[in-house]
Each structure stands twice: as structure tokens, then as C-alpha cells.
Structure 1
């Protein structure tokens, strides 16, 4: 069998970034290796570099034949690039073959990612952005065997923009009513030291609370990921909100003012990068600072942030 003749296929890359990502315009180099258990003939070894995105979801339907007929399906797909090359091919006449002897075979690879504003790799509930490198071993009278490796592609936008380094803040307030009585004001002010972060980084959220009510309030900080999918017409859309991480702070006692605290929230290292340059999906992030009070609506402050591949230093404090 073909699977038993060629074993232990691996692709090894050179000079990847610290986060093992590639980006537009990068030269990918390395080598492939595989073991051959007996002498075989091959026509060629080919390489294919592809980037594409697709989304798919449905609405309506459910149990029963009539409901299934009422189900609507939405989808969209786009190819960013599809590049093909030959690593090994018999010289001379088309259709010639090369003999591979038993043992380990190693071949260098080199390919250039095209220039372009392509979205970062993403796997979501209703769609994905996928970049792959496929090596195909083609043998006479055999079906071609493809070995597919997914590339972690990062859209490296300009992180020197001042707005990415500047602090962000927001505030909100409310009063509680019980019959004819109204509580004193409850206020939340929250700030982050900058707007852009990388996966795995810890965010310091500075919170200021005032609780003039008669009830204890509990603060909670969460990282929310918002996924929005669009069909071909961009008329239909599907929105998904995911909570990626959360931290609960110390309760704020009743009738207290000017409570200041710092809450540290670590972004999961598996978080995907922000996507705003794809026609069929968006991926955004929000830090939600919430003050929960029993038998009352939550008091919430939302801080939008950007997830990028390159570390961004916060702006230095203004000169005093």
C-alpha cells in the first residue's frame, strides 16, 4: 500500500517568527523529509501554497420535513491566492519517472508569500480563514498523496500608530429604585493602558468604583470575542459572542466611595488576531468591566481592544 511505502513525512521551516507565524511577502524556506521502505518510482513532487476564507450557516428549519424545507442556508467563499510549483521532476520527456531508493529522502523548499492585505488565520463557529502548504507526491499508476500543513498567517499591520499605544477609558453610572426610594449613585470608571495587545499578554485594568447604594456590588472583568459572519450579498449576517477569560474582583461594600483597584486579566495565548480586512467575517475584542448588584441590572463599561501579532508598548505618561 502507498501509505506503507512512504512514511514519516515532515516539513521543517527555517527562521519563523517567535510566535511561529508567517506574513505577506515572507520567504518561507525549509525542507521536507520522508522515509521510503522500498524502491519506488515517482513522476514528481509538487508544492501548493493556498490562502482562502469561507463561511457557512443556516437558519430556521428544525424537526419535520416542512421545517427542513424552510431552512435557509447562507455561505460565502473567497480565494486569496493559489500558487503551485514543482520540487522534483524527471528531466526530459513529460511523464518520465525518478527512482527513489529505500531510506530517508530530504528536499529543500522555498516559496514566497504574495504581497497583499490578507486576513489572519482564524477558525470560528461558522467559518475560517485558512492558509496551507500542500506537498504532493505523484507516482505512476497510483493516486497522488497530499501532505497538508497549515500555516499560521498573521496580518502584520502598522503598530506604530499612536492610537494603539494610547490609554482607553470609559465610565457608566446608575441609581437603584425601590418603591418611592432611590439609592445614591453607583459609578464605574475603567481604563486600560493601551489599545493593542498580543495573545498571552496580561492586561492591567484600573477600576474606580463608587457605591452609594445599600447593597454590595461585585466587579468582574471579561475578555469578549465578537465574531460576525456575512453571506455573499453582505445582507445576511450571523453574530457570535464568546467569553475568552474573566476575573472577579473584591466586592465593593455599600456606602463606599472612591474605591480604586487594579484587575489583571491574561489574554489566552490561543486567541486569534483581530480581523477587519475580510469581506465575509470580522473578529473584534472587547474588555467588559461589569459591576453586579443583587436584584439589579449590571453596570457595564466596554473597552474595545485590538489583538495583533507584534508587541505594542504603552505610551509614556505625559510630562508633568
Structure 2
């Protein structure tokens, strides 16, 4: 009798995106099929499907303690996020004898469905770093009598959603710094930097609007710049390992001595990057926008503004987002007054002849002489210029027993 052969063993997920990737989040249902292709009759004890999710950190440090002595220290840590197992064909693992629970697969393709639900707990987002990773996968194992099992593993992606439409991530980020350059007995003027961004949370593909003011009172030519950094931090055995990578950057114009420069919403594009990982106990992924002044021959003057890269983009119709955008205009956040209202026109304030006659006729029994003098004196004068209006006038000056509210009506002394 010719023994059959297993031609192929594969795992297929039912849900894939346009890039043919399987992407899920916490509490989602993961379903798929295990496909087995055989030629001839194949005897099978079991077909197991195992789903795993694991965050793992590992690095090695070597230290020399003399010319010929060295020792190596390994740092390893793991966090288990998912462990699920199903048996699709055959019996439990303890019934693994050569003739226990045998199923015969005939020539052709055979499909076996599987499904499981991801935990509702906060899962770490899939990630690949230099000293650690967060991976999720489904592994299928086909066990046959007296033969080694056939195994196949296929990974899927998990995103722990971060909604940037929260008050904390919609809050503006700002800072100000100043630095004075000096060399022995010679000191130059200060270099000042103020920078602000409209919010703390962004998603990949967005552009960060940077508002900045740079003033160079030093004797050197400086260059304002901005850079987005990703910081990976790994923890194992009470020790941490950190790596910082440049994600994106931009450059301003060189600034001569005594000159200033303004960035009124200069755009820095965020490329496709991993979302922030903030809840995993052994791996953290954080982002920082650094706005700095490149000082030749000296230490740079820099401002660090923390960012969070999320997965749920900004709701542009949200009133909160509208107010944030309006509050980040270069006029308001720099402390300059908003544009004032235009002054009233002369036609709105000038007294017409008919109004004057009506007023005189309606004022019988009062002191018409003083009222007529007032109108005659001011009826042909234009209204005061807008810049001359006193918003906080002084108390009226007392002339004799009557209050006179215009200086020109007081008799000269």
C-alpha cells in the first residue's frame, strides 16, 4: 500500500484589507480556514490550531573584566496577551497513539474552519523593534501516526485603537526657551525660541502645523529646524534599553545676527509609522516633536513637545477641533490682540438739521441756551479718530456748580 503525502498545509483568514492583510482589534472575532492538500490517502491523528499573542524583549550585553576575562548578560522578558487552542480533527492530545482517533483524508483539498474571539483587555499593538516585538499568529499542526507533524504559522495584525478626539490629545502643546552664547570674556546676545502645535494627538499621514518665533541676537548665523523622533524603550529584569529614530524633519532659512523668523503653520508630514504603545509593561513606543535652533560651534537650543500617534483620526466636524484650530492662529497664541472692529462712520454719528430742530422743540422748559451752545459747537465737527478714543476716560472736570464733560467747555483760567 502506497502511503499518501501532504502536499500543502496553509492558514487563510476570512477578513483581509485592501493590502491583503488581516487586521483586528480587541474583542474582534478572528475566523479562517486551514487548508490541507493531500495526494493519496493520508491518515491523520489530529489537526490543532493555536492562536498566540506575545510581547517579547531580548538583548545581550558583554562586559570585559580584564585582558582575558569577559562575561555576557542576557536580558529577556515576555508578556502573554493571547493563548487559544482548538482541535479541528481527531481527539485530545493525550490520545496520540498510532491508531487512536485516526481520520483518513483522501486525495484533494480539505478545508477546516476555525474561529476565536480576541480578549477585551487592552492588547499591545503589533510592533517590530530592534530589541523586542509584539506578534500575533495562528499556527496549524497536522499530526500523523509515526511521522513528524507538519506545521505552518501565519501572523495577523492587532491594533489597539487610540482615539485622538479626547481632551487630553486635543490640548495644544507649547514652550519657550532662551540661550545666551558666551566664550571666555566675550558674550553675545541671546537666542530665543517659542513654538506651539495645535494638539498632541495625530495619525499617520497627517501634517503637523508648527507655529514658531525665532529671534537671533547672537553674533552667529543660526538655522531653525524641526524633527519628529520615535523612541523605543525595552524593559527586562529591571533594566531598560532605549533607541531613538528620526522619523521626519524640516529646515528653516538661515538667520543672520539681529534677525527674526516666524513659522506660521509650517507643515511637517507624518509618514506611515507604528501607533504609540503606552500600556505594554515591557515595550513602549513614544513620539516627540523637537523644534530646535542649530547653533554652529555650540549646543543647540531645543524644545521638545510630546506627541501621541493614534489610529482614530480627528473628527473635522467636531466643535472642539474647530475651537482648537481657531485658538492656534498666529495672532492669538503669540499674545497679539485680535483685529479690532472698524470705527463707526461719520454718517452714523453726525447730527442732522431736522433732528436738531426736533430736539430743540422737545426741550422746552429746560435750559435751552446751554443745549443750543453744545449743538452749535459740535454739529459740524467730524467724529474723533479711532485711535484717539479713550477707553478709560478720566472723571469729569467740575466747572463751578455744573458738571462739564468736555474740556473745551471749561472756561480758560
Q: For the superposition of Structure 1 and Structure 2, which TM-score range results when normalised by the shorter chain?
A: 0.7 to 0.9
Aligned twin of 1:184? 189
313, 316, 320: which is aligned to 2:322? 316
Say how many residue pairs are matched: 313
Partner of 2:285: 283
Describe the shift of the 1:192–1:100 C-alpha distance in structure 2 as closer, same or farther (beyond 3 A): farther
Following TM superposition, by how much is the alpha carbon of 1:45 offset from its aligned partner in structure 2, in angstroms? 2.2
2:137 maps to 1:135: no
Cα deviation per residue 1:218-269 (whole Å; 9 max; x = unaligned)? 222222122222223x3x2222222222222332333212422443323331
Please say which of residues 17-26 and 128-137 is displaced more in the overlay: 17-26
* 1:284-307 deviations in Å (ceiling 9; x for gaps): 111111210211211111111112
Write out aligned runs for 1:268-307 (5 A).
Answer: 268-269=271-272, 271-307=273-309
Label 1:88 to 1:159 Cα distance change in 2 as closer, same or farther (>3 A): farther
More strand per residue: 1 or 2? 1
Bigger Rg, structure 1 or 2: 2
Alignment of 1:232-247 (within 5 A): 232=237, 234=238, 236-247=239-250
Q: Which residue of 1 aligns with 2:37?
A: 35
CA distance in 1, matches of 2:141, 2:294: 56
**Alpha-carbon distance, 1:25 to partner:** 0.7
Contact 2:212 2:263 in 1 (8 A): yes
Give me the whole-angstrom Cα distance separating, in 2, the residues matched to 1:190 and 1:74. Answer: 40
Q: Identify the residue that residue 392 of structure 2 maps to in structure 1.
A: none
Q: Does 1:118 align with 2:120?
A: no
2:251 paired residue among 216, 225, 248: 248
Q: Which segment drifts farther, 28-37 or 292-301?
A: 28-37
1:1-320 aligned at under 5 Å gives the runs 5-7=6-8, 9-14=10-15, 20-61=22-63, 66-69=68-71, 71-89=72-90, 95-232=100-237, 234=238, 236-269=239-272, 271-313=273-315, 315-317=321-323
Task: Give the TM-score normalised by structure 2.
Answer: 0.67
Looking at structure 2, the residues matched to 203 and 106 of structure 1 have their Cα atoms a distance apart, in angstroms, of 48
The CA deviation string for residues 20-73 of structure 1, in whole angstroms up to 9 with x for no partner, is 53121111123343533443222232211111222222334259884433x333
After TM superposition, give the deviation of residue 6 of structure 1 in Å.
Answer: 2.4
Q: Distance in 2 between matches of 1:167 and 1:9?
A: 49
* Contact kept in structure 2, 1:164 and 1:312, CA below 8 Å: no
Please tell me whether the aligned partners of residues 163 and 312 of structure 2 are also in contact (alpha carbons under 8 angstroms). no
Identify the structure with bigger relative contact order (alpha carbons < 8 Å, sequence gap 6+).
1
Per the normalisation by structure 1, the TM-score is 0.85
Q: How far apart are residue 273 of structure 1 and its match?
A: 2.2
For 1:244 and 1:264, the matched residues in 2 are separated by: 14
Kindly tell me: are residues 241 and 62 of structure 1, through their superposed partners in 2, closer, same or farther at Cα, counting changes over 3 Å? Answer: farther
Structure 1 outlier segments of 4+, above 4 Å = 15-20, 62-66
* Structure 1: distance between partners of 2:106 and 2:284: 50
- Specify which structure has the higher proportion of helix: 2
Q: Which moved more, 1:216-225 or 1:55-64?
A: 55-64
User: What is the CA-CA distance between 1:113 and the residue it aligns to?
Assistant: 0.6
Following superposition, the deviation at residue 16 of structure 1 comes to: 5.7
Mean alpha-carbon deviation: is it higher for 103-112 or for 42-51?
A: 103-112
SS at match of 1:184: strand
Equivalent residue, structure 1, for 2:346: none
5+ residue gaps, structure 2, are: 328-413
- Structure 1: how far apart are the matches of 2:7 and 2:139? 16
Further displaced range: 33-42 or 293-302 = 33-42
- Write out per-residue CA displacement over residues 185-214 of structure 1, whole angstroms, 9 at most, x where no aligned residue: 212222222212223433232232222223
Aligned in 2, Cα 1:277/1:251: closer, same or farther, shift over 3 Å?
same
TM-aligned CA distance change 1:219 to 1:267, over 3 Å:
same
CA RMSD in angstroms comes to 3.0
Question: Could you give the per-residue CA deviations for residues 74-114 of structure 1, whole angstroms, max 9, x where no partner exists?
Answer: 222222231101233379xx532333333333333321111
